[in-house]
Structure formats: C-alpha cells, structure tokens
Chain A
Amino acid sequence: MLSLAVMGRAPRAAPVREPHFAVPEAQEVDLVEHVLCRCGFGAAPGDRERLRALAPGTEEAVDRWIDHQLQPTGEEDPGLRRSLGRLESLTQPLGELYEWKPEVLLRELSSAALLRAVGSRWQLREVMVDFWSDHFNIDASKGECAWLKPADDREVIRRQAMGRFRDLLGASALSPAMLWYLDGRTNRRATASERPNENYARELLELHTLGVDGGYTQADVMEAARCLTGWTVRDRHRFRKGRVELEPALHDDGEKRVLGHRIPASGGARDLDALLDTVATHPATARHLATKLCRRFIGDGPPPEAVETVAAAFLRSDGDLRLTLRTLFRTEAFRSPAARRTKLKRPFHAVASALRATGARTDGGPPLLDLLGRMGQAPFQYPTPEGAPDVAPAWTGTLLWRWRLGMSLAGGELAGTSLDVPGLVERAGGLDRLAAHLLGRAPDGTERAAISASPRPLAVLLGSPAFQRC
C-alpha cells in the first residue's frame, strides 16, 4: 500500500517539478467537468487534460471521450488490477461461490464496486453498472442471493451493461440470483389448480420493462407468470448448485396472451423468449428506461422532450444501449449549462468521487462500506426491488456523514485508505487550484474565505455544497 507519494516528496535539494494537473479556470462549470462528473465518478487529477487532448475543440474532445467510453475493453490500470486481485472471490465460478462465507462475498463484491468506481478508466461503464444494479436490484440478504449475486454482477450486469437491453434483460431473467430474489424459482404450475408465483412477472413489467404506468393489466401479469413457470435454480443442497434449468413438468405449456401477443401452446423454453421479446422493445419500456436514464444523466426532473428523444433512439435502435446513450449525451438538456452540478450525488457517488478526486489510495474496505451503510446505500443491500432512489430528497439526510468522510479522509483516519494532502495541493498548484479541481469551477469569494480560514481546507472542500453535486 505504501508508495513514494505517501512516504514523502523528492528531497528539496534536487527539485523535480511535476507539472500541475489541469483544473477548471472559469467561474462557471464547463462541459468537460460536466461529463466527467455525470458520465463518471468525477475528475481525477489528470483527467481534464487527458480529455482535452483528444481534439482541439472542447465539444469535439467531449464527443471523442464519450465515444471512447461507450466502447470499453477489458484493459485496466495495473493499480486497480492489483487491488481487485486481492479480492479472490470475484473470479470464482458460480458453483465455487457456495464454498465462501456469505459475508466475505458481500464485502469483496462491495469493495470491488467501490474500487472500480474510483479507479476504472471505463468510468461510464461503472456508472451504467451502478444504474443497472439498481434497475435489476438484488438484495444479497435474501435466500441464497449472497452466494449468487457475485455471478449476477459479473455475468449479467457488467457483461451486458452497455450492449443491447434485450440481452441484459434475458440474462437477468435467468440469473440464479434473480430467480431467488423475486421467487421465480418457486413459480410452477404442474397442475391446472396450481397458481403461479407472480412476483418476478410483476416486477418484470412494473420495474424492469414497461413501468408502473406502462399500460399492462393484472391479466398480463398472470399470463407473463405462466410463461415463466418451471424455470428454477438448483439450491445449495443439490448437485450442480446454482444451475438454472427449465423443469418441463412444472411449466404451464398452454397458450398465453401477453399485451395482445399470442404465445402459442407447447412453447416450452421459447415462452420466455417470446415474453421478453414482447416487453424488451415495447414503447412503454422505451419511455420508462429513457425516463430513468435522463433522471440519472440530466437531472431529477428531466424535460419531457429529452425523454422523448431518448425513448425514440431506444426504439429505433432496437434497444441498443450505446446508441441510446449517445443520443442522450447529445441532447440540449444534457449539454445545457443549466444541468451542470445540479444533481445531488448519491452516497456511493459521493464516496467514490472523494477518493477519486483526491487520488487517495484505498482498499475499498470496511470503514468505507460502513460509512455507505450509515448513509443508507450499502452496495447490494437495498431491501426492495425498485433499487435505491435516484432523486435528491432521499439523500439530503446524509450530509453529516459526508462531512465526516471529508474529515477522516483529509485527516488520514480511515484504515485502508491513505492520502498525501500536501502532495495533492502541490500537484494541483496550490489550494486555490485544488479548490477549482474539487468544485468543478473556480471557487467564489465565500468559498475562498472558508478554505483559507480553515485548518482543514480539504475537509471543507469535500464537505462543501458544491462537492455534493455532480
């Protein structure tokens, strides 16, 4: 964990002046800061000049950065690879996960989420992983989810985060963790008198696809549940635990009718595909997803025109998430200066951005996870299927803990996390420039006064209202 940055600076006798990293100079938040903060977990030292170097003009450079971020590869910085390498459970195959203690799996998975948000070069993918982890929320405390969520994170959410929505939805529908979380594994109809378990079918329509006002009826929920009967997952007491399979005897193989579409009898496993094909690219699904994406990237109350534009792009592209996002990032609402630094960071974003902006070294360990728990956003522990809220009122009560984070980070009081504060100030080129880096714009008079009067200027900056927003 120790590095030169922590051990001390180069001796004064042989000054090796590092160039200062670029910080915003203007009084207003610019487009570069905006995309780094919304499409990622904020600017790390050096991000700004790396983005600016992509093209001569700002708009063009931002477009290039977005295009690049939309095509993530497996490549990561060695530092992050090393930190993730210490979390051994991350790479365990599904069946092996059952050998681990659930609390260890949850801790490692949570640390990994934080480490990636802080350190991944594919910031937009991490934001989308965060988005889909809520959209397809699974609380690890239910049933065998603790053993299965790591595989869901790896093989469903991460693998499909930026692809086609239909693929993501299909993977989620047959994810062992989801079959546990929303009781799909118990949904069966071996005889005509048996009533299917509607839990997953309802959330599929209400939360994952059409949305609560999406125009479906109770009859659609029941028919959707019939399509899904018989899909189950082998529990931990059985051979090949965690394996998902269709038990034909428990599948209702009669004809179904969902949202006006006839699904013929004897479809077997094809019923699932027919159902998901129907809902994945339904206009109501496009509107529901566009609303949530705009809420995440534009603001708590996004303008209806932007939602319409994004929904249309989703439909036109047959649910291609890259094209949908590219369209979103080109809307006037997203690019408008009025949208910048207006969204309250959720606790996870607040913690990740503080670590990222300061270049802290961290193991993403228990003190940070504990803090997230106190702020009500412990990863993978949101209790209800709709996932953690994405609007400010849910999180305004967390300020005290954000201030505490700033204080402990600046004071080096977090075990497993270290920060070279004088080095950071020096690399920024002074306190005023560090303030601009953290606030996304040059500090104003009040901010400047508060920082210069404080014995812990970094804690003031990290606790300031401007830093709580992205």
Chain B
Amino acid sequence: MSAIALGKTPDDDRVLVTVFLRGGADGLALVPPVGDDGYHRARPRLGVPPAAALRLDGPFGLAPELAELHPWFLRGQLAVVHAVGSDDDSRSHFVAQELMERGGAAASGGWLGRWLRARGVTGALTAVTTGPEVPDSLRGAPSATALAGLMALAPGPEWSALCESLGGLYARDSRLGGPARDALAAAERVSKLRTEGVRPEHGARYPERREGEVAHAFGQQLAQVAALIRARIGLVAACVDLAGWDSHFAQETIVTPRLRALALGLSAFATDLGTALCRVTVVVMSEFGRRVAENASLGTDHGRGGVMLVLGGGTPGGMHCRWPGLAADRLEGPGDLPVVHDYRDVLAAVLARHGAVPPSTVFPGHQTRPLAV
C-alpha cells in the first residue's frame, strides 16, 4: 500500500482523537492541587496526600492512578489544563454535554462536524466513533461512521467481487475515477484490518481484562483507532467515550477504575503510535468538574471547572492554568471551582495544528483566545 493517506495530500494526514469523559469527571481527582491548602480542607477524606501525587507544576500534582501518563508530561508531550470548562452553569449532564459538543449556544450541529465541513474534508471514512452512535460533536460532518458500521463494510467475498467489478467501471471515468480509487483502497484496508485483526506496535500493551472491564473496553477502542490510523484509510477525526464519571457516592470505587483506564489506555495508545504520535492529537474533556468539597457519602456533586488533557500532535505540553485558588471567596455558586479557561480556547489551539479554519466558523459567538497547549 502506498504511504499516502487516502483522499488527502501527504502532509495532510493528521488525526484528532477526542476522548469524552461523560458524567462530569472530577478534575480535582485527576489533577489534585496538592499545594493548595484549600484542597486538603475541602477533601479531608478523598484528598490525595502531597507525597502521593506525581509532581506537575505549581500547586498541581497528577493522581497516582494516572502514573503512566507522567512520563509523557515530563517529555513535554502532554499538556494539562485546569479550571477549564464551558459557560454553561446548569450543572446538568445533558445540557452541559449537549452545549459542549455543539460548541456554543449560538451554533447548530457539532463543533467537529463544522470543523470537518469547513476544512473541506470529503473522504468516505474521515470521521469515526468507537461508540454505537455518532456523538453530537460530529453532527453535520461530511461523513461520520460508527466503527461497528465501518467494520461491517467489508462483509466477504461478494463485496470483494463487487469492488472488482466497480473498479473496472470507474477506471475509465475521468471525474469519479480518482474518488473511486480512494474508496476502493480504503475498503481494501478496512478489509485487511478485519482479517488481520488489531496488532499493536512498538511494544504497546493495552489493558487486559484482569486490569478491569472499564480499562479493557477503553483500551480496545483506542487500539482500534490506532490500527485505523496506521492503515491510513483517510481518518481525520475519531471520537471515543469513557463514561461513568458521575461520582456522587463512594467516589473512589467509581473514579479509580476510570483513572486507571485513562492512564493505561492513553499510554498504550501513545506508545502504539510511535513516531506517528506527532501527527495525532488526543484531547480529553468532560462536561464539567465537580464540587470542591466532598459530600457526606464520600462523593462529590456536580461542579463547574474541570480538567482537559492534550496528548501528542505537537503540543508543547506543560501545565496551563491561571489558578484561582480554592479559598471560599474564590469559589462559584454552591462552592465550585470557577471556569477560568474556556474549553474552546483549548480546542482552537489544537485545531490550528490540524488544518486552519477560522475559529468563528467552528465556534460561532465565541471570541477565541487559543491557549498555548
């Protein structure tokens, strides 16, 4: 197979992977501000002791359960943004997720869909989601496919025979010949992927079942995305969900397995890609963070500011936050970390490396000030 990605030019083979932590991931559990006294006062039982956290920058540490991500941070390939979120203060999962995926109240469709449209991306397999349904962020995309559907694209010898017949008919078509060649090659690569299965490279080890169902399932989705990227089927964007972060009650039982899933999955994915990580960015986001103070049932309630991660793709890495501190008078509403950074300013910085489109097209109604992530 040629080294050139389908339907794109050789220098246009960048892939954006979004990981949506559904349910409101506790940013203070992912990236505890262990150097802030307010944090320990608010989280007497759930708080991470300063010595246990892995040092990032300023008051921030990385949760010990995310240890596998620390080397990527130290190498400058992982950027961490704290106190980030949207301007929605409903604290409703549904409303906040919907708004975040839409990309602003003034917009219609999804932000990824608008971006793909505006980039003029037209291949058949440009956007995939590993979940059963196409997420709202991909609404209005020129093409968007659930991975299950993609794998069903090549159902056997009859399909191969059809492709062969059609190949002959399209070969003499001056207008559709090129797109047909791309489509046939993509179908062939998907077919190959199906028969050969997903084979991680560079010694990457995705989490196994014994490391938890959540981690296993998440890792398998990332392994498939990595395989698609390697197969160069023309992928431009992929959406992966890691759900179940709604930790009102006994937070550790909910958050710990998901932190492990995130750390094991993302580090395996980054390893698997090898040098290709320079053209692949992973953005991790959630609809909101959680209440600063723990509640009586060892959990936390819906809050505002949370954490975003940017891995690979040319990010300069580092810790990014104008930290407001956790003193009572700095908190918002019922005691929440305020949203200091708009999630769109993180996405805009990443998108700028993935194909220039005016930010006002992707995030209408938002005055974009991209962060240096």
Contact = CB atoms under 8 A, between A and B. Distances in A.
B166 A460 contact: yes
8 closest pairs, A vs B, by CB?
Answer: A383-B109, A383-B140, A397-B122, A142-B108, A396-B179, A400-B124, A139-B108, A376-B142
A110 to B, nearest CB: 14
B128 to A, nearest CB: 10
B180 interface: yes
Contact of A398 (B109, B114, B124): B124
B295 interface: no
Contacts of B182: 397
A407 B161 CA distance: 11
Given A400-B187, A459-B162, 6 more contacts: A141-B139, A393-B122, A401-B143, A403-B163, A404-B153, A407-B162
Given A139-B108, A396-B179, A384 B117 contact: yes
A465 B169 contact: yes
Interface in B115-131: 117, 121-126
Interface in B122-157: 122-126, 134, 136, 139-145, 149, 153
B143 A374 contact: yes
Contact of A407 (B140, B158, B186): B158
Contact of B176 (A141, A376, A465): A465
Candidate in A139, A181, A399, A464 with the most chain B CB atoms within 10 angstroms: A399
Contacts of B175: 344, 392, 396
A398 B139 contact: no
A116 to B, nearest CB: 23
A285 interface: no
A112 B339 CA distance: 44
A399 B108 contact: no
A446 B161 contact: no
Contact of A383 (B108, B123, B149, B183): B108
Contact of A382 (B140, B166, B179): B140
A305 B124 CA distance: 36
Given A396-B179, A465-B169, A384 B109 contact: yes
B94 interface: no
Contacts of A145: 108
Interface string B102-117: 1000111110011001
Nearest to B153: A404
B162 A397 contact: no
A395 B143 CA distance: 10
Interface in A98-148: 139, 141-142, 145
A395 B122 CA distance: 7
Contact of B123 (A139, A344, A397, A455): A397
Contacts of A455: 158, 161
A138 to B, nearest CB: 9
Contact of B126 (A397, A411, A447): A397
21 contacts: A141-B108, A373-B144, A374-B143, A376-B140, A376-B141, A381-B109, A381-B139, A383-B108, A396-B178, A396-B179, A397-B143, A399-B179, A400-B125, A400-B183, A403-B162, A406-B162, A450-B166, A454-B161, A455-B161, A465-B169, A468-B176
Interface of B: 7, 102, 106-110, 113-114, 117, 121-126, 134, 136, 139-145, 149, 153, 158-159, 161-163, 165-166, 168-170, 172-173, 175-176, 178-180, 182-183, 186-187
A181 B168 CA distance: 46
A375 B165 contact: no
A80 B107 CA distance: 36
A375 B127 CA distance: 11
Contacts of A411: 158
Contacts of A468: 176
A411 B359 CA distance: 45
A376 B144 CA distance: 7
Nearest to A145: B108
Contacts of B165: 450-451, 453-454, 460
A456 interface: yes
A222 B102 CA distance: 27
A454 B180 CA distance: 18
Contacts of B142: 376, 394, 397
Contacts of B186: 400
B173 A376 contact: no
B134 A397 contact: no
A40 interface: no
B305 to A, nearest CB: 26
A463 interface: yes
B117 A383 contact: yes
Contacts of B176: 344, 396, 399, 465, 468
Given A373-B144, A383-B140, A400-B183, A465 B170 contact: yes
Contacts of A383: 107-110, 113-114, 117, 139-140
A464 B114 contact: no
A181 B106 CA distance: 9
A68 to B, nearest CB: 33
Contacts of B143: 374-376, 397-398, 401
Nearest to B7: A397
A406 B121 CA distance: 24
Contacts of A398: 124, 143
Nearest to B109: A383
A395 B109 CA distance: 19
A400 to B, nearest CB: 4
Q: Which of B121, B143, B158, B173 has the most CB of A within 10 A?
A: B143
Contacts of B170: 465
A403 B125 CA distance: 14
A456 B162 contact: yes
Contact of B124 (A139, A373, A382, A399): A399
Given A397-B7, A397-B179, A399-B179, A463 B162 contact: yes
Given A399-B124, A450-B165, A381 B140 contact: yes
Contacts of A453: 165
Contacts of B123: 397
A444 to B, nearest CB: 10
Interface string A374-394: 111000011110000000111
A446 B165 CA distance: 10
Nearest to A374: B145
Q: Which of A183, A401, A411, A453 has the most CB of B within 10 A?
A: A401
A381 B136 CA distance: 11
A400 B183 CA distance: 6
Contacts of A392: 175
A339 to B, nearest CB: 15
A460 B162 contact: yes
Contacts of A454: 161-162, 165
Contacts of B161: 454-456
A296 B117 CA distance: 21
Contacts of B153: 400, 404
A147 B162 CA distance: 42
A370 B106 CA distance: 26
Interface string A397-427: 1111101101100010000000000000000
Contacts of A381: 109, 139-140
Contacts of B117: 383-384
